[in-house]
Structure 1
Amino acid sequence: MNAKPPQTWKCEHTLKEHTASVNAVAIDPQGNILASGSDDRTVSLWDLKTGKRIFTFFGLLNAVFSVAFNPRTPFLVSGDFDNTITCWNLDTNAVRSFSGRSGTNNAHSSSIFSVAFTSDGENLASGSADQTIKIWNIPRWVSTRTLRGHTDTVWSIAISPDGQILASASADKTIRIWPLNSWDEPRILIGHSGWVTSVAIGHNGQILASASQDSTIKLWNLNTLKLLCTLSGHSAAVWSVVFSPNRQLLGSAGKDGVKLWNLSTGELLHTLSGRHPIAFSPDGKTLVTGGDGTNIKIWRQYVPATESAPNPVLSGEWYSILCVDKLASPEEVKLAYRRLIKQYHPDINRAANAKDIMQAINEAYAKFEEGARGEF
């Protein structure tokens, strides 16, 4: 029996509306909308399926370094170079500033490089070049807590799925693990030899991934704080790291490209022609990355055709062509048709005769539908 062809990724859209470097991307919880933040002082919304731009928010005073969707309400926030957290209501396009300018009570005093919501959408965390992390209560729009301990810029933050833990990555070369339900001191992870630029927590809340200027990615056990493994494959600083929702892949990105790793084995599976930033869709089948700096790339997961894949029968009865029994139920026939489309559509299958195969499949299915209608 032939082995199942490996899954790979194909760039389906390249988005070119931004006029300066794209620093951040995020996908909404439904997997329909992509948000991007740029040095051009805008935040844009895109249709993730078509790649068409939906809307652009103007009026920001400086570059945007991070964006995040609220998981429960139609809010999008950005962390900006001018120390501000800006919030947009996506239903009304109303804008609100969280922290205001430097000097405002509880405001960050320097650029904000990372923002992240708790899973209930009630709280927002922000990490800043002022070496602090702030926790904001969304319903009351106030800062409720400031986490101090880092001695240099906080580049990235991540919150566990249960909302109990916050991890932060800093230019002081450390990772700090903060308990959000108590005032205990953070636990400190040391292992990278350069800035720690990005952190992500796995969807089971048990594994932490960290990326660094030292060109490595490290995986840590969040319960024991033990280092599990170090992934080496990048040739330059790694600026972002993200887990796939299916818990099978880890994505990492820097200026030298995007890499996808097998979480179980640590094996490097794919290198893509993208760059930082990076985000997975909720179903794990779409990947968004930076392009050449001003562009954004949307990648789709697919199974490439193989030379050994058998071709279906191209002539004969419809059920022979669709590889089903003559007495198969309509639902079984539809499922078989869908499977064949996924395998032999010319956009996916690169074989020279893929177009002829697909034509035969479509004609066979049309004959099935004609026969099914004749029964009524």
Structure 2
Amino acid sequence: MGDKTIRIWNLQTGENCYIINQHLAAVNTLAITPDNQTFISGSTDSTIKLWHLHTGELYRTLKIYSRAISAIAIHPDSKIIASSSQEGIIKLWNLQNGALLATISGFCPLVFSLDGTMLISGDQGGTIKIWQLDRGDNLPLIGEWWEILGVELKTHPKDVKLAYLRLAKLYHTDINSSVIAKTAIQAVNQAYQKFQQQLNTHN
């Protein structure tokens, strides 16, 4: 909420169970794990906090963002959290120990498919990104070249190149040591190659 608080209510009685005021700025997004044991909050203060649902006790804070948290999604098996920020970065976390599993490019909205095999996110230019999640928590990006690069089909070539360079920097192994960086940069490189082939065909 805008007043920095989180209010938990009993739906049957309409009573306010408790109020949380440990965020330093507005709370933008909330999510509850499928087992109804944990709820997760994301705030403009650039933190993600994990709470015991029934007691309101804080048991973990995640802070590896520099800008406001805009969306949170929880994998159906309650083992992975996906979060996005206003800087266009999505991070995947191990819910049990708070370990960072992966860093990918994208914006809100953010949602896992019901069967847990895909992560879907928004991106710039009105596009969406679809990531295929395998049993090893690997997330190869699937889609057309413009979806992978996060641009529109008719985007100017200079802007396509800028989008490619931004992603290439994000997934460079010297900067991104996450498990998916190698497969992600391969997908980005292949997408840019397809764009160049299309551009050469039309010239």
TM-score range, shorter chain: 0.5 to 0.7
Distance of 1:83 and 1:122 partners within structure 2: 22
Where does residue 54 of structure 2 map in the other structure?
A: 139
How well do the aligned residues superpose, as a CA RMSD in angstroms? 1.8
Alignment partner of 1:177 is 2:92 = yes
**Structure 2 CA distance for partners of 1:226 and 1:145, relative to 1, 3 Å:** same
Q: CA deviation at 1:129?
A: 0.7
Give the letter for the 1:201 counterpart. F
Match of 1:205 among 90, 100, 116: 116
- 1:81 — aligned with what? 2
Counterpart of 2:24? 109
Q: Which of 65, 90, 94 is matched with 2:11 structurally?
A: 90
Indicate yes or no: 2:35 matched with 1:124: no
Whole-angstrom distance in 2 between the partners of 1:82 and 1:120: 28
In the alignment, does 2:127 pair up with 1:216? yes
| 1:243-272 CA distance string (max 9 Å, x none) | xxxxxxxxxxxxxxxxxxxxxxxxxxxxxx
1:127 aligned partner, one-letter code? G
Is the contact between residue 81 and residue 112 of structure 1 (CA under 8 Å) also seen in structure 2? yes
In the alignment, does 2:137 pair up with 1:226? no
SS at match of 2:125: coil
- State the distance in 2 between where 1:177 and 1:119 align: 17
AA partner of residue 88 (structure 1): W
Identity %: 31
More strand by share: 1
Q: 1:183 to 1:197 in 2, by over 3 A?
A: closer
Unaligned residue ranges in structure 2 (runs of 5+): 153-203
Residues 114, 157 of structure 1: 8 Å contact kept: yes
Secondary structure in 2 aligned to 1:214? helix
Q: Under a length normalisation based on structure 1, what TM-score does the superposition of the two structures give?
A: 0.37
The 3-state SS of whatever aligns with 1:98 is: strand
Number of aligned residues: 144
Encode CA deviations 1:53-94: one digit per residue, 9 max, x unaligned.
Answer: xxxxxxxxxxxxxxxxxxxxxxxxxxx111111112111110
Larger radius of gyration: 1
Segment drifting more, 109-118 vs 215-224: 215-224
Task: Write out per-residue CA displacement over residues 315-347 of structure 1, whole angstroms, 9 at most, x where no aligned residue.
Answer: xxxxxxxxxxxxxxxxxxxxxxxxxxxxxxxxx
4+ runs deviating over 6 angstroms: none
**Structure with greater proportional helix content:** 2
- The one-letter amino acid of 1:224's match is N
> Can you list the C-alpha shifts for 1:121-150, whole angstroms capped at 9, x where unaligned?
010001111111111101222111111111
